[in-house]
Amino acid sequence: MKIVISYPPLKTKKGYPTLGQNRQFQYFRDPTFIYPVVPAIAATLLKENGFEVVWNDCLAENISYDKFVEIIQEEKPDLIAFETKTPVIKQHWKIINDLYKLRTPDYELRTVLFGDHVTALPEESFQNSLVDFVLTGGDYDFLLLNLCNNLQLEASTLKTENLEPGIWYREEGQIRNSGQFKLDHDLNSLPFIDRNITKWQLYAYKNGNYKRRPGTYIMSGRDCWWGNCSFCSWSTLYPKFRVRSVRNVLDEIGMLVERQKIKEIMDDCGTFPVGDWLKEFCHGMIQRGYHQKIYFDCNMRFGALSLEDYELMKKAGFRLLLFGLESANQATLDRLNKNLKLEKIIEDCKSATRLGLFPHITIMFGYPWEDWEDALRTLQLGRWLLKKGLAYTMQATLVVPYPGTSLFEECKQKSWLKTINWEEYDMKTPVMQTPIPDEKIMELVQGMYKVSFDPRFILRKLFSLKDMDDLRYCFRAAKKVIGHIFDFNRR
Ligand code: SF4
């Protein structure tokens, strides 16, 4: 049985869609390609279990639609799997319907969708397309293997009683499912990603997080031990947190360092594990000598680490720490359920930078309850952190209430949604009613990026250059900033 795991080409003039493994979808002029870790594990699992697997990322490989169809015609897969997301779901439905024209009496092509949007709204895809299966929850690697095992057993009639919970399918004209998904799989039982079948080089260079290249991604856990922020689309996929053993993660890092000659690793756990796990991990990095061979980056929460933790992380090879700042207003942080005190933001940025780590901050604008003064406070805090050198880089975005999040439910209750045309959930324009006009919100986002033209910011960056890697990194970052200013231009 042959399975294609695909990111099909998407027709758009808005830029490159940053779809794979992305909590926040955007079109970029200057694309960042994130290694789609869970789909890549799915490909590896399938291969290890005797299935033929084709990795087909048309977005990263810049493959045209005609070429994509040609590939599918040549490969003749039994099943095509797409990771999907709210702004592109309608395009995926159309592609699925198009692909079904390739079916013949001798060739039964089937399709499967997975991701946070279809986890929130699984029936919608059956109602709007000919899709055969939807996998809900974030363990779609395990679920895809389970589905393929069952399809292999019964080519014509699926033995639905053997399906794991979380799989949606059609039966006798009805939409049915195998129950609520469970996240009870053991992450340590998963194989390390087969980087070759998943074309690791596609994701090793065009990624703004890496200072040294080639870089790559891993995930130490799924997905965030906090998991309660009201806007977070991945808490829909992973309502429960699980972490791999330290040894398992270190072994994978060792393999990447030795075999792939990777120079920087980004861990894409929603929030990296802390406490004893983190300490053991840092000591392991040092004992095995990986701290001298690679930089290690991760997502982190403000208020989660002590000064000693930052110190140990620096020694262990950590470099970039990505923090969700979201807003400079305590009332907003509370409404978002961030469980964060405002003063911890500055305190942690100071601690991290003092110890030689590089905080990257993410900021959002367009909250329905924030007025101009509130938004301006966020802009000012973000700019101040960057100019003072307390934050190294940043990302400013619009808040998007993805289906499945509690923010989306709140929007529905309070009639804040301006549209439920999912294509508009792409950050090109605000989709929630706010007291601030849309143009002004877009200006705020651009205002954040324009701090890069501030002479003090530029001077600070110039004085911080230590080597050619720094220079190249700054050059790439500048290119990205200019791209982002255009990304947030109103249509
Ligand atoms: S801390 Fe980050 S990953 Fe965790 S729930 Fe909040 S937004 Fe999501």
- In this predicted structure, the answer to whether residue 386 has a pLDDT above a threshold of 60 is yes
Q: Does residue 185 sit within a domain?
A: no
102 plus 222 within the same structural domain: no
- Give the C-alpha distances (Å, rounded to integers) separating 233 from 301, 352, 404, 406, 482: 16, 27, 7, 9, 27
Helix (H), strand (E) at residue 333: helix 330-335
Q: Look at residue 197 and tell me if it is in a domain.
A: no
Looking at the structure, do residues 134 and 214 belong to the same domain, yes or no? no
CA 456 to mean position of chain CA atoms: 32
Lowest mean pLDDT among 209-213, 346-350, 408-412: 209-213
3-state secondary structure 250-285: HHHHHHHHHHCCCCEEEECCCCCCCHHHHHHHHHHH
What is the distance in A from the centroid of ligand 1 to the CA of 370? Answer: 20
Rounded Cα distance, 212 and 14, in Å: 29
Q: Whose CA is nearest to atom 6 of ligand 1?
A: 229
Q: Are residues 165 and 246 in the same domain?
A: no
Q: Which atom of ligand 1 approaches the CA of 224 most closely?
A: 4
* From 225, 301, 305, mutation site for ligand 1 pocket: most ligand atoms within 8 A of C-beta: 301
Residue 30 banded pLDDT, cuts 50, 70, 90: confident
Which band of pLDDT confidence, cut at 50, 70 and 90, is reported for residue 463?
Answer: confident
Confidence (pLDDT) at 484: 65
Q: With 50 as the cut, is the pLDDT of residue 491 above it?
A: no
Residue nearest to atom 5 of ligand 1 (CA): 227
The residue contributing the CA closest to ligand 1 atom 2 is: 270
Question: Residue 93: which region, alpha, beta or left (left: phi > 0; alpha: psi -120 to 50)?
Answer: alpha
Is 262 found in the same domain as 155?
Answer: no
Atom of ligand 1 nearest to the CA of 324: 2
Distance CA 225, CA 238 (A): 10
- Overall average pLDDT of the 248-264 stretch: 96
CA 303 / ligand 1 centre spacing (Å): 13
Cα 21 to ligand 1 centre (Å): 14
Residue 182 included in any domain: no
Distance from the CA of 169 to the center of ligand 1, in angstroms? 30
CA distance 359 to 321: 5
pLDDT at res. 28: 85
Instruction: Look at residues 49, 265, 283 and name the one whose alpha carbon lies nearest to residue 148.
Output: 49
Is residue 380 located within the same domain as residue 273?
yes
State in Å: Cα 32 to ligand 1 middle. 20
Q: Whose CA is nearest to atom 3 of ligand 1?
A: 270
Q: Is 1 exposed, middle or buried (0-12, 13-18, 19+ CB in 10 A)?
A: middle
Task: Please indicate, yes or no, whether residues 116 and 251 belong to a single structural domain of this protein.
Answer: no
Token readout for 438 is 């849309």
Query: How is 363-403 classified by DSSP, letter by letter?
Result: EEE--TT--HHHHHHHHHHHHHHHHTTS-SEEEEEE----T
Distance of CA 64 to the CA centre of its chain: 24
289 Cα to the center of ligand 1, angstroms: 31
**Nearest CA residue ID for atom 8, ligand 1:** 232
The pLDDT of residue 485 is 63
User: Which of 228, 302, 407 to mutate for ligand 1's pocket (most ligand atoms within 8 Å of CB)?
Assistant: 228
Measured distance CA(366)–CA(441) in Å, rounded: 6
Same domain, 362 and 236: yes
Give percent of the chain with pLDDT exceeding 90. 82
Taking 70 as the threshold, does the pLDDT of residue 407 lie above it? yes
Most informative mutation of 24, 225, 229 for ligand 1 (most atoms within 8 A of CB): 229
Q: What is the rounded CA–CA span in Å between residue 222 and residue 418?
A: 32
Q: Check which CATH number belongs to the domain holding 104 and give it.
A: 3.40.50.280
Write down the residue that tokens 């966020």 correspond to: 378
Residue 33: what residue type?
F
**Nearest residue by C-alpha to atom 7 in ligand 1:** 232
Arithmetic mean of pLDDT, 116-132: 98
Contact (CB, 8 A) for 445 and 396: yes
Percent of the chain at pLDDT above 70?
A: 96
- Please tell me whether residues 305 and 357 are part of one structural domain: yes
Mean pLDDT across the stretch 212-220? 97
Domain assignment of residue 344, yes or no: yes
Instruction: Answer yes or no: is 183 within a domain.
Output: no
- Assigned domain for 473 exists: yes
Domain co-membership, 168 together with 282: no
pLDDT for 6 equals 98
Q: How far apart are CA 243 and CA 224, in angstroms?
A: 9
Instruction: Determine how β-strand 174-177 pairs with β-strand 215-218.
Output: unpaired
**Residue 410 belongs to what domain range?**
208-487
Bridge partners of residue 331, in order along the sequence:
none
How far, in Å, from the CA of 242 to the mean position of ligand 1? 14
pLDDT at 223 over 80: yes
pLDDT at residue number 186 = 98
Does residue 193 fall inside a structural domain? Answer: no
Provide the CATH number for the domain around residue 246: 3.20.20.70
Q: What is the number of domains present in the chain?
A: 2
H helix or E strand, kind and range, residue 461: helix 455-464
Ligand 1 cavity residues, CB under 6 Å = 224, 226-229, 232, 234-235, 270-271, 301, 324
Angle between helix axes 342-354 and 372-387 (nearest 10 degrees) is: 10
Q: Is 429 found in the same domain as 386? A: yes
Strands 2-7 and 242-243: unpaired
Q: Which 8-state DSSP code applies to residue 226?
A: S
Residue range 39-76, pLDDT digits in tens: 999 999 999 999 999 999 999 999 999 999 999 999 99
**Domain membership flag for residue 232:** yes
End-to-end CA separation in angstroms for the chain: 44
Strands 110-114, 358-365: parallel, antiparallel or unpaired by DSSP?
A: unpaired
171: helix, coil or strand? Answer: strand
DSSP annotation of 78 reads: S
Residue (of 239, 247, 300) closest to 269 by Cα position: 300
